[in-house]
Amino acid sequence: MFAAPDITAVLFGLRGCLVQTANEGPLPAPGALDTLAGLRQAQIPCIWLDDLNSLQSRRLASVLPDWLPGHSVNGARWPAPNACWQALMSLDSERLEGCVLVSGEPQLLQSGLNAGLWTVGLATCGPACDLSSAQWQAMTQQEQDLARGKATLALFRLGVHSVIDHLEELDTCLADIALRRSKGEKP
């Protein structure tokens, strides 16, 4: 259950919500559906973002809940902040304060930082840790941990505010951001 009432809206990188499989196509990432349901129950507006064309994005997003709106980038490409602002406008968000972007895509996270949002990096959902790839599956646990650690450090070097492995950890992360905001911290 999401107990972070100070969170205004959550933007998700579409590919961070999905796992690509060779045989079945896209599937929701572990914890994605529960996380989205929890945010909806807490009445925290959400939207996904992607830089693919609208048709490709909609095909990928078809495994996500129908109520979850999406926004495909049009105009300036990431890391320009436009897509984040446009997505928030489509949610009728009244303010930037408390808006959070969650993604494993470095360019989208940079876009969120440029837009003035809180950012949460997904270490295991980015280019360095493709959970669905045969290469990742062939790695030993130690090699996976090393790749996850490198991805975490790269996300922090980018300047994100928090890093989690997967969406199942988002509730705690949003509570931490709400606490940081209550102490006057800004993104």
Backbone phi, then psi, for 183, in 5-degree steps?
-90, 5
What is the 3-state composition of the chain as percent helix, strand, coil, each rounded to the nearest 5?
45, 20, 35
Q: What is the predicted pLDDT for the residue at 132?
A: 60
Asked if 26 and 20 touch (Cβ cutoff 8 Å), the reply is yes
Contacts of 90 (CB under 8 A, 6+ apart): 47, 69, 71
Is the domain 9-182 a CATH 3.40.50.1000 member?
yes
Contacts of 30 (CB under 8 A, 6+ apart): 19, 166, 167, 168
pLDDT digits (tens, 9 = 90+) for 67-93: 999 988 877 788 989 999 999 999 998
Give residue limits of the domains in the chain: 9-182
Helix (H, G, I), strand (E, B) or coil at 135: helix
pLDDT digits (tens, 9 = 90+) for 132-179: 666 767 888 898 889 889 989 999 999 999 999 889 999 999 999 999
